Amino acid sequence: MIKSKTADDIRGMKVAGEIVARTIQDLVSAIVPGRTTTEGLDLLAGRLLRESGARSSFRGFRGYPRTICVAVNEEVVHGIPGNRVIKAGDVVGLDVGASVDGYHADAATTVPVGEVTESVRRFLRVAEESLVKGIEQAVPGNRLGDIGYAIQGYAERHGYSVVKDLVGHGIGFGLHEEPQVPNYGNAGEGILLREGMTLAIEPMVNMGGPDVEILSDGWTYITKDGKISAHFEHTIAITAQGPEILTLPPDEEP
């Protein structure tokens, strides 16, 4: 069942979303190549969320043991923070979810650490732009397939692939709600998008092939071919005026 949100609900989600966005900004700024561990980022995120009056949407969700997810290089999503040291040349995905007063928001970004090749920078740029293309389709009267079609088409036109084993989701009163939001599909197919729907749109784009596998920890997905992956995500609300991104810091609101 898809849970529609009122204007008050969307405002509540936006409070959580702004905390998520600021937390991601601070995590990116805190990365020091050769010194920062993924566990260090997790501990920092926990402190930042607590100080903001939020709690992690991830910790304890279906048994997940940490505050955030950190995916490095060939890791796609759901990387469990630990003692891995982030090095110059790495590509790091940061996925943060927060809950405030019962409202959830979820966002992710992937950043290069230090100097990386131009091909990697181009890949990250295209992966982030694919999220923008998907969000543009989140308008009343479109279909769910329009979002996935836009994401997949943009990534594949540039020579990359989208992960099909993992999808975005509805969000709001819970971290994961209906509907599932694939990053692939056919235009004009799927459920009708209506005002009041809130979605976490999150393309996972691979530099190589689309196939992934899960590690023995039961959480971390990696690319089967060992090539790097990128994950970008925003929580959005579908409104009569178009898609509203709820996971932007206040100084970046359109």
Q: For 145, phi and psi rounded to 5 degrees? A: -65, -25
- Bridge pairing between strands 91-100 and 103-112: antiparallel
User: pLDDT tens digit string along 31-48?
Assistant: 999 999 999 999 999 999
Answer yes or no: are the C-beta atoms of 114 and 88 closer than 8 Å.
yes
| 251 band by pLDDT with thresholds 50, 70 and 90 | confident
| 250 band by pLDDT with thresholds 50, 70 and 90 | confident
pLDDT at 254: 56
Whether the predicted pLDDT of 185 surpasses 70? yes
What is the average pLDDT across 163-184? 98
Domains contained in the chain, CATH given: 7-246 (3.90.230.10)
Average pLDDT, the chain: 97
User: pLDDT tens digit string along 14-37?
Assistant: 999 999 999 999 999 999 999 999
Q: DSSP readout, 196-252? A: T-EEEE--EEESS-S-EEE-TTSS-EEETT---EEE-BEEEEEETTEEEESSS-GGG
pTM, two decimal places: 0.96
